[in-house]
Amino acid sequence: MRKKRISIQWLLMLFTAFTFTSCEIYQEVKVKRVEDFDLSELTNNHVAAVLRIGLENPNPYKITLYESDLELRIDGNLAGSITLAEPVVLAPKSSQVYDVKVFTNITDVEGFLGNALSLMFKDEIELQASGYVQAKGLGVKKMVPLSFTKPISKKSFKLN
């Protein structure tokens, strides 16, 4: 009985140590660059797109990005929020470009359409996103800050 009690105490102590140090084990994923933006669907209140994003995972294990809370701005004007359409799995100790499928529910349709119409008179507009992406690795969940700014040309919107 004494051996069982000692082993349970050791397990509890190891679990506590892992819980308090798990944040140190987990290094943040970094956005290196946004290479491209490809609009795949545009409706009156929904936009689907693929962002080619360079992401770095400094951890020796895979990280899954599975949920996002990102604010979308077009030329500085709030247009809605960006949501991941599907989880993105980052390879361990890697720095690669990933195709990240996203969709946006546009809260300010008039503002978004005004910005889209401004493309007729400009060669490009600036797409900005900032907020958090929820990531998971080794059973530890963490909110990872993410922000980027990307100039978007007419050809991305297929408005030539």
- pLDDT exceeds cutoff 90 at 91: yes
pTM (whole model) above 0.75: no
Mark 38-61 as b/e (b = at least 16 C-beta within 10 Å): ebeebeeeebebbbebebbbebee
What's the pLDDT tens digit per position in 32-71? 888 888 888 877 777 888 989 999 999 999 999 999 888 8
Enumerate the domain spans of the chain: 28-157
Q: What is the CATH number of domain 28-157?
A: 2.60.40.10
pLDDT of the residue at 99: 93
Mean pLDDT of the chain: 79
pLDDT of the residue at 116: 60
User: If we measure between CA atoms, which residue out of 100, 108, 114, 116 comes closest to residue 42?
Assistant: 116
Mean pLDDT for 67-84 is: 84
Lookup result for tokens 């798990």: 22
